[in-house]
Amino acid sequence: MTLTTSSNNKNFTKLLKWAFLRNKSIMIIFSVIMAVGIIINLYILTRLSVNYDKPGFEKTCGNIGYFSIILAQTLSILFSIASVSQTFSFLHNKRSTDMFGAIPATRSTLYFSHLLGGAASIALPFIAGSLIICLASCRSFEFVLLNFLAILFGLISIAAVYSFSSLIAYCCGTARDMGLITFAANAIYIGVLAISWTVVTLMIPGLDFESILYAPVLTLFCPMGFAYFLDIYYYGGQTAAFVVTIIWSVLFTAAAVLLGNIAAKTRRMETAQNEFNIKWVPVVIKVGMSVLIGGFAGLITATSFASGFSTMYVFTFWYILAGFAAFIILHLIFSKGIKGKFLSSLFAYIGTTAAAIILLFVMSTGAGIDTYIPMQSNISSVTFGEQNYTYSEPENIQTVTEIHKIITDGLKKESGNQYYIGSSTNQGQWTREIDESDYDKYSTILNTPFNFRYNKNFGFTTTRNYNINLYNLSFYDSQRMTELLLKLYNSDEYKKQNKAFLFSETSHSEDSVQLAYYEYNGRLTYDYEYYNGTEDYTASDTVELKKDRAFLDGLYAALREDILADPDFFYENTNRYYYGTYRYFGDYFLNLSVYSSAGNTDTGTYDDYLYDVSPSRNLVLSVNLTKNYPRTIAYLEANGYKINNEKLSKGSLL
Amino acid sequence: MLEIKNVTKKFGDKTALEDLSFSIPDGSVFGLIGSNGSGKSTLLRIISGVFKPDGGSVEIDGECTFENPSAKEKIFFISDYPYFYNNSTVESLVNFYKVLYPTWNDEKFRRLCGMFPIGTKDRIVNMSKGMQRQAALMIALSVCPKYILLDEIFDGLDPVVRQLIKKLIMELVSENNTTVIIASHNLRELEDVCDHIGLIHKGGIVMEKDLDEAKLGIHRVQAVFDNELEEDVLNSLNVVNIKRQGRMMLLTIRGDGQAIEDTLRSQKPVYMEMLPLTLEEVFISEMEAVGYDINNILE
């Protein structure tokens, strides 16, 4: 027994080395490509090194390293499939099957030694190359971690792709079938999902690509996508999707290895150079491809040649017709004629097609997806509306869900509980001509993007993006909608995000702090349908404030208090072209602007990267001072800056 | 002892081997003969553990060979077309096999290198078919297996090498008590080296016996009789085949030679001679008996 075990281990090691060396040529090609990548990477880094003392340098280099490793992930996936084809070629050639079948090793030993030896031949160049890139590129722990994780994701992907392709290798009689089916299985899954999701998003309002991007279902049977989705989820902070995908990729790999071992033990070696060892593999591919082709044909014809609910019937007709034609053609290709497993394949195809059609008509009722709003207790924060700010205060979350409900109630009413392909982008009843007075009154609604992203407990995410115009004010409770939006946009959370420069905890660095009156120049440049691109206000009496630290800190403290107490913050301090500036401010308003070369104009926060990209000064804070800012006015006057009260805005629009 | 017990193997709807049973004693050289597609190579693949039988089992020394490395260590199989990777050399094969087979004998390998005109560092795929077989045989003999399975080993070899191989096989048997199983259509070569014969047809065993016994069990008689042989006499003999050329009769008869001779002499032949049968003639005779003869094929 001991002798046998020792002999098995010895044989395992020998076969592992053999499998590793069998991939010598693939390993060399992969290594050469990696080396070229490293040289290009180092060249770019050397060119960038002239900016080594700039704050954005670290981030630029780290990102170059990160994206280089993502490129290496792609190469490693492609080379993994080539390597599996080479490593397990003994399964697909009658003569080599004789050689390997007769050697004194169990089929499990053969399988595991070849799996590990082959995978190592791809993993080692990948690790070595990626580590060199990482060490050359990363100058901060943050990027070292990011790059290391990208390497880890690459390894997870190699393991998953290698084990899955090996399983397919044992199911197939030829290397050609193995390669085709490995790619087809991945492509069919993603393809069917993409077609299905496109159909659903065309039916049910609010759903779009983003709604499924963070759903781990995307990666369920797509091992070639594991690394990319892990990159996306980690980079995008999608904790739940990331954790689920990590766990799933490990489980998937383990299952593929387990099934591979079973396939190895039960393989009929005589299928080499011949037929499929596992008969249902081509059936799955045939049915999957037919569904994909049918779905594509149905989608194109339904969206091109039909409207209203008839799109459903047009889709169904072409889905069946094109799908069945594809099925017959694929069967002829796979079986070299109508024979063999035709009937069982046909039943599988009919069953899948029938299930898909039933599902399609179930979805036309909305299936609860159209009205789904997460329960407040499950929401940790929500990103919504103007500027896509994130709200985590329960009161604000409730406000957002209430806004969402007004939308879903309206959509439900309009659809009459019957969606069809194209109904999500065809909310005719929501649109109508609107007069100018209504526009001013409801400009908040009309300029709000109705994009909801619920960050739920345990890191899950639900998104709904409504591409609709809410111009038909009578179709929903527009009065209530406006109240809710203004409530949200005047909340502390909104204000703190809108004036991030003031409320962030980082120390400030200003190039210039200016106080200026803005005077109406007689050209009302914006109404709801016309903008001529010229300024309607001209700056005058600009004063450069002193950059004394204590003075500025005091000014910021006063501003913070005033902003939080300002009941009209939204009208006063958002994009003035949208909200009837002149009607609100009148002939004058006072503005305080802070510029910083290390700041981000859009977010008001500091961004090192910008320094590298655009070293010019950026506007990081702009506050329109009205009578709602008494503490700030008083502070400025106390510090010797005379404020003309006549030129402060009147402070009321509505 | 190699025992084949009720082995059945099917390829889809076709049955390659059906309930095949026989045993091969240790130290014998077993010639596996049969018609094309009779299942000879399939049987060798089952014995060596390449194919899993659909029914029955193959045991060597009481151990099943399928998925049993300790049993497979005792077997070496050279298929009808030995496989070599593109960059294989004899040297690289030695490195591969010497770890897998504990019975590997370096000294024997060196001796064989002197016998076969093969460069151990040359790429095997660039060699001729015959030389590839020699390379495979060098490896097989160096393993010193207890059971060696050779499929069409004499194909593509020149007469001198064939002689050498037969000599080496006999040497292996005498030195190691190795059991050799050779599947071949080259019955002339088998006749020289085999002591046992197994005849397979359509997946079943037609005959399995000692070669001499096989040869002795079937006889060819050339005779001329004054009168036609009576029906009763012919019926009393197990006549496999009768051919006539004028008055000359050529009879192939199964049974005891002496009894056959006595029976025919009792009919007072003008001329009678018992002719020796080659293995090929035994094969043809046996196959004719199961309906596999040229006349049937031509029909």
Task: Tell me how many degrees the CA angle A505-A511-A513 measures, rounded to the nearest 5.
Answer: 85
B81: chain A residues, CB-CB within 8 Å:
95
Contact with chain A for residue B102, Cβ under 8 A: yes
How far apart (Å, rounded) are the C-alpha atoms in residues A42 and B64? 59
How far apart (Å, rounded) are the C-alpha atoms in residues A614 and A619? 13
- Token pair 């004899």 in the structure block, residue: B90
pLDDT of residue A258: 97
Contact with chain A for residue B253, Cβ under 8 A: no
Q: Which residue of B has its CA nearest to A106?
A: B67
Residue type, A498: N
Q: Is residue B183 within 8 Å of residue B262, measured between CB atoms?
A: no
Substitution target from B8, B10, B44, B45 for chain A, most A beta carbons within 10 A: B45
Q: Quick check: helix, strand or coil at residue B1?
A: coil
Q: Is residue B176 within 8 Å of residue B28, measured between CB atoms?
A: no
Kindly report the pTM of this predicted structure: 0.78
Contact with chain B for residue A279, Cβ under 8 A: no
Q: Which residue of A has its CA nearest to B49?
A: A102
Where would I find the H helices in A614-652? Answer: 630-638
CB contact under 8 A, A7 and B67: no
pLDDT of residue A379: 95
How far apart (Å, rounded) are the C-alpha atoms in residues A651 and A643? 16
Substitution target from B42, B83, B92 for chain A, most A beta carbons within 10 A: B83
CB contact under 8 A, B67 and A106: yes
Contact with chain B for residue A8, Cβ under 8 A: yes
How far apart (Å, rounded) are the C-alpha atoms in residues A193 and A209? 11
How far apart (Å, rounded) are the C-alpha atoms in residues A345 and A293? 16
pLDDT of residue A431: 55
pLDDT of residue A427: 56
Q: Which residue has the higher pLDDT, B213 or A450?
A: A450
CA A408 to centroid of chain Cα atoms = 24
A102: chain B residues, CB-CB within 8 Å:
48-50, 72, 75-77
pLDDT (tens digit per residue) in A187-238: 898 899 899 999 998 998 888 877 777 777 777 888 888 898 898 888 888 8
Contact with chain A for residue B37, Cβ under 8 A: no
pLDDT of residue A577: 47
CB contact under 8 A, B79 and A18: no
Q: Which residue has the higher pLDDT, A589 or B32?
A: B32
Residues of chain A below pLDDT 70? 1-9, 50-56, 139, 336-341, 426-441, 468-474, 522-536, 574-585, 598-617, 649-654
pLDDT of residue B117: 85
pLDDT of residue A52: 65
Q: Which residue of B has its CA nearest to A95?
A: B83
How far, in Å, are A45, A46, A55, A60, A276 from residue A138 at the CA level? Answer: 10, 13, 14, 9, 48
How far apart (Å, rounded) are the C-alpha atoms in residues A128 and A154? 12
B72: chain A residues, CB-CB within 8 Å:
102-105
CB contact under 8 A, B67 and A265: yes
Query: Burial, A3: exposed, middle or buried (Cβ in 10 Å; 0-12, 13-18, 19+)?
Result: exposed
Q: Quick check: helix, strand or coil at residue A512?
A: strand
Contact with chain A for residue B271, Cβ under 8 A: no
Size of interface A-B (CB pairs under 8 A): 72
**What's the gap in Å between the CA of B81 and the closest CA on chain A?**
6
Nearest to A98 among B72, B77, B101 (CB): B77
pLDDT of residue B64: 92
pLDDT of residue A158: 95
CB contact under 8 A, B70 and A4: yes
How far apart (Å, rounded) are the C-alpha atoms in residues B197 and B41? 15
Could you say which residues from 9 to 48 on chain A have a Cβ atom under 8 Å away from some Cβ of chain B? 10-11, 14, 18, 22
Q: Is residue A466 within 8 Å of residue A451, measured between CB atoms?
A: yes
Q: Which residue of B has its CA nearest to A19?
A: B96
How far apart (Å, rounded) are the C-alpha atoms in residues A32 and A53? 33
Q: DSSP state, A204?
A: S
Contact with chain B for residue A106, Cβ under 8 A: yes
pLDDT of residue A653: 42
Q: Quick check: helix, strand or coil at residue A79?
A: helix
**What ipTM was predicted for this assembly?**
0.84
Q: DSSP state, A598?
A: T
How far, in Å, are A78, A116, A122, A265, A271 from residue A81 at the CA level? Answer: 5, 14, 10, 22, 21
Q: Is residue B28 within 8 Å of residue B179, measured between CB atoms?
A: yes
B82: chain A residues, CB-CB within 8 Å:
95, 98-99
Q: Per-residue pLDDT averaged across B152-172, rounded?
A: 89
How far apart (Å, rounded) are the C-alpha atoms in residues A349 and A164? 24
Substitution target from B14, B15, B79, B93 for chain A, most A beta carbons within 10 A: B79
